[in-house]
Structure 1
Amino acid sequence: MTLPHDPDEAECLQRARAGDAAAFDRLVALHRRRLHTHCYRMLGSPFDADDALQETLLAAWRGLASFEHRSALGAWLYRIATNVCLRLIAQRPRRITSPDHAPPLLSTAELGEPVMGPVWLEPLPDGEWAGVDDEDPSATLQRREHVALAFVAALQHLPGTQRAVLLLREVLEYSAAEAAELLDTSVASVNSALQRAQKTVKERTPASSQATELQRIGEQGLDGLLCRFVSAWESRDITAMVSLLAEDARFTMPPLPSWFDGRRFVERFFAERVFRTPWRLQPLRGNGQPGFACYIQQAGDDRFRPGGVVLLRLREGLIVSIDSFIDPAVCRRFGVADELL
């Protein structure tokens, strides 16, 4: 994956090496978003990715003298970012999803206490990774596949080096030799790690990617499904909601450890807990998936307050997963308003 040099890159590099911070910012500006997304895939949290990106850029600023301009700047930055992420992976617990934590609940009576700390896989707003509007549709589809929640969740089950190899080879499209150079290892080691990583990810991701499912249902079909979903939730129509769910639908809600598996239990959770109070939903997108900012109106309050961010996963025109993130920090990340009238 060797990109041509920007004609202004050499001048910016020279000025940055002389201590010009503005020149350095211009030098790395085109790489920031992709580096952040790479760190997000590696670490499973946009907040951890923020830390990794900051550390990457600081290391790049300090190490400009070691960068040889005959090599690609992007590859050099990815090398730094990947090594930063590998170090963080060794220091922090891996990010998990609700099924990784405990079995599903069979009753809605007690949902448990929130499990706080850097534990849960967290979503990434589309505005932080999406490409430009005129991007080739096939490229957009591939980028969606590589940021979907299920894919990022599967990556977290890989050892750090396998994560890095799979992303460098299959997402960033570096050759085995290039990946080996970036990771200071052999081509044989890269190929072996890639085979093991592919097997694990295949076992833990749906047979049909979310990007493919969204393409299959089409824009009009998706709009209709989402409108019915909003109507069912806001009107607290349990029959309408259940009609949208696949038989094996699930509902998760980190940092609460509780989750429900199967349409019958998701139906019970909506009927016995969720629909006890009024809600308002506003559309948003994260991880290349449709979703909503969900606002709840508690008793005695005339306003709707943030209750969480929900992302939907679809299969064959039905909802197979409702992933609800009720951490206030996630709501703020998605720009959820503090209140609605």
Structure 2
Amino acid sequence: MAVDTQLKEHSMGEVDEAAFSALAERHRRELHVHCYRMLGSFQDAEDAVQETYLRAWRSRETFEGRSTFRAWLYRIATNACLDQIAKRRPQPATGGEVLWLQPYPDALLDELRADEAHEPEVVAVARETIELAYLVAVQHLAPRPRAVLILRDVVGWPAKDVADLLGDSVNSVNSALQRARAGLRQHLPAERQDWTGTEDDAATLELVRRYTELSLATDIDGIAALLRDDVRCSMPPTPGVQLGRDAVVAEWRESGFADLPRLRTVLTSANRQPAIAFYIWHEDQGAYLPLTLDVLGIVGGAIADITTFHDDQFARFGLPERLAEVRA
């Protein structure tokens, strides 16, 4: 018997675990992305989805069909995220960094495209609200306004449904949404709509190529010429944000970037933004090993944001564990 038919003919409490899992698994990726927007961390989102499925199975008899099964899972997932934030999430550091931020591989985001129906507005919202700039800004919102913002503006829920989930009035939800939108604007770049180039944007591809070549040459002055005056650079979970070209360049010089050994790169993409995986030569290994992953935010033909992640993110992107030496 098909799962949907089984749900119509029986109560949820009578559905066996295999059928329940089959239905729930259809929504795993979109629930994971929802939790990721709430939490800003890929791993925390994994934990939240697992908790969501556990809670859903244990409370399956409470599903009465007044909403869709998908909406019911979103309710549980949102509450799981709010609980996780309350227990585990520190406040953002005073410098504005989000220490728990992790990138999201585009290869996994591509699994959602079949569900987006290719409607331009839906695709645009999905893209803009997964970018790192948006994720960072959202993490500065209080938990409940954050949930209201994501459920209303991203998931598209009516105010009444959000109010029911949070146990608030519609007026309270509308007020929270206004505050959340105002708070979001304070932390987003001014050119929000131009934050990234499109996938076939030749100018963006050329800028990424130049950034990559200059990085391989450890040419700090050359890279500096590609940056906006107000560029922002961070390296979560390492504390500290460099704001402005001069501050970023000074940090690179002090860190010894120009003295790095040989490097190689692999291009990838994260959060619908171009990303470059850097590998560094290890003489004792006779190979290039993972170093860092740079995710770029591009505005008006210049780099406006560089978020650098440590090598523990490479496996999630399916990147090689090592690269061989290139022989002439």
- TM-score, length of structure 2 as denominator length: 0.87
Among 4, 21, 42, the residue aligned to 1:25: 21
Residue 206 of structure 1 aligns to which amino acid in structure 2?
A: P
Change (3 A) 1:23 1:97: farther
Q: Name 1:114's counterpart in structure 2.
A: none
1:273-292 paired onto structure 2 within 5 Å: 273-277=256-260, 278-292=262-276
Q: Is the 8 A contact 1:39 1:82 kept in 2?
A: yes
Residues 20-47 of structure 1 deviation map (CA, whole Å, 9 limit, x = unaligned):
3221122112211111111111111111
1:137-152 paired onto structure 2 within 5 Å: 137-152=120-135
Among 209, 213, 218, the residue aligned to 1:227: 209
**Corresponding position: 1:190 with 2:173:** yes
Determine the C-alpha separation between the residues in 2 that align with 1:244 and 1:203. Answer: 25
Other structure's SS at 1:312 match: strand
**Corresponding position: 1:56 with 2:38:** no
Determine the C-alpha separation between the residues in 1 that align with 2:100 and 2:79. Answer: 22
**Corresponding position: 1:167 with 2:167:** no
Determine the C-alpha separation between the residues in 2 that align with 1:302 and 1:200. Answer: 50
Determine the C-alpha separation between the residues in 2 that align with 1:159 and 1:269. Answer: 31
**Corresponding position: 1:315 with 2:299:** yes
Moved more, 288-297 or 129-138: 129-138
Residue 171 of structure 2 aligns to which amino acid in structure 1?
A: A
1:1-341 paired onto structure 2 within 5 Å: 8-11=3-6, 14=10, 17-18=13-14, 20-94=16-90, 96=92, 99-100=95-96, 119-130=99-110, 131-132=112-113, 135-209=118-192, 213-215=196-198, 219-271=201-253, 273-277=256-260, 278-298=262-282, 301-326=285-310, 328-341=311-324
Determine the C-alpha separation between the residues in 1 that align with 2:258 and 2:282. Answer: 12
RMSD: 2.5
Residues 276-330 of structure 1 deviation map (CA, whole Å, 9 limit, x = unaligned):
122111111111111111111246553111111110011111001111011x432
Q: Is the 8 A contact 1:44 1:152 kept in 2?
A: yes
Other structure's SS at 2:197 match: helix
Residue 4 of structure 2 aligns to which amino acid in structure 1?
A: E
Change (3 A) 1:88 1:52: same
Aligned sequence identity (%): 38
Residue 321 of structure 1 aligns to which amino acid in structure 2?
A: D
- TM-score, length of structure 1 as denominator length: 0.84
Q: Name 1:112's counterpart in structure 2.
A: none
